[in-house]
Amino acid sequence: MNFSHWRRGTASEARSQGKRTQQAILARALKIAAREGLAALTIGRLARELEMSKSGLFAHFHSKEALELATVEKAKELFQNAVLRPAQASAEGVERLWILCDLWLLHIERRVFSGAYFFSGALFEYADRPGPVSKAIKNAAQEWLKALREAVGDAQEQKQLRRVRRAEQIASELNGRLLGAYCAYLLEDGASFREVRDALLGRVGELATNVIPVSAFESPACWRKYLEKRP
């Protein structure tokens, strides 16, 4: 019997099992954090809910801070996959800007996070604190704002949006409208984002040049028709 081959196989299986366990821990941690905030995460609570020993869970995350950082990174990955990466794969300019806004709303509707929007809650909770967790949360929020800002800037470069305001200001305004819409969504127990989409697209239309017809901004349906008919 080739014992060296057996040992390699056993080690590989152990690593695979360890990775699966770690992913299960992070999935539960993200669920708790999205509903109750990062402060609700503890090694003891996760061990109880996952029916693990504290020492077994501690082997994966050696401190509460390490657990929080890994949870933030997991949340960031989910948000990137749901919003940022699909938008980056789309066309540029106003089209990409609208897709970013639309996908942001869609990831709320699809409950990518099981509770209140993860990064807005975490940002309020940790923004004024020192340390790596606060930095990681702010970096994730800044990555989103950067994507909005770059899409606005690109649309201005392509002369699709007027330069009446700086790209940073327009991005900040749109982000504020999205956050405000989400607050209303929570207060109204999951009300439709249809009117929000109409208003957001209308605002983009107010900033647009005559390169794109005004009628394209009347509703998301009109926008889709414009994209289908354009050369």
pLDDT of residue 122: 78
pLDDT at residue number 3: 47
Give domain status of residue 166, yes or no. yes
DSSP class of 86:
H
Q: Is residue 113 part of a domain?
A: yes
The answer to whether position 7 is within a domain reads no
- Give the count of alpha carbons within 13 A of 164, CB side only: 9
**Residue 217: band (very low, low, confident or very high) from pLDDT cuts 50, 70, 90:** very high
Instruction: Kindly give, in sequence order, each residue whose CB lies less than 8 Å from that of residue 208, ignoring residues fewer than 6 positions away.
Output: 94, 160, 161, 162, 214, 217
CA distance 206 to 160: 11
192 belongs to a structural domain: yes
Q: Which two tokens stand for residue 32?
A: 């708790």
- Asked if pLDDT for residue 5 goes beyond 80, the answer is no
Q: What is the CATH number of the domain that holds 144?
A: 1.10.357.10
pLDDT exceeds 90 at position 162 = yes
42 found inside a domain: no
Q: 149 and 167 in contact (C-beta within 8 Å)?
A: yes
- Residue 35 domain flag: no
pLDDT(4) > 70? no
Q: At a CB cut-off of 8 Å and minimum separation 6, what does 71 contact?
A: 26, 29, 30, 33, 38, 41
Which of 21-25, 89-93, 204-208 tops mean pLDDT? 204-208
pLDDT at 79 over 90: yes
Amino acid at 15: R
181, 193 Cβ separation under 8 angstroms = yes
Query: CB–CB of 119/61 below 8 Å?
Result: no
> How many distinct structural domains can be found in the chain?
1
Residue 163 is assigned to a structural domain of this protein: yes
The model's pTM is 0.86
pLDDT digits (tens, 9 = 90+) for 39-74: 888 888 888 988 888 888 778 888 888 888 999 999
Percent of the chain predicted with pLDDT > 70: 90
Q: What domain range includes position 223? A: 65-229
Residue 10 falls within a domain, yes or no? no
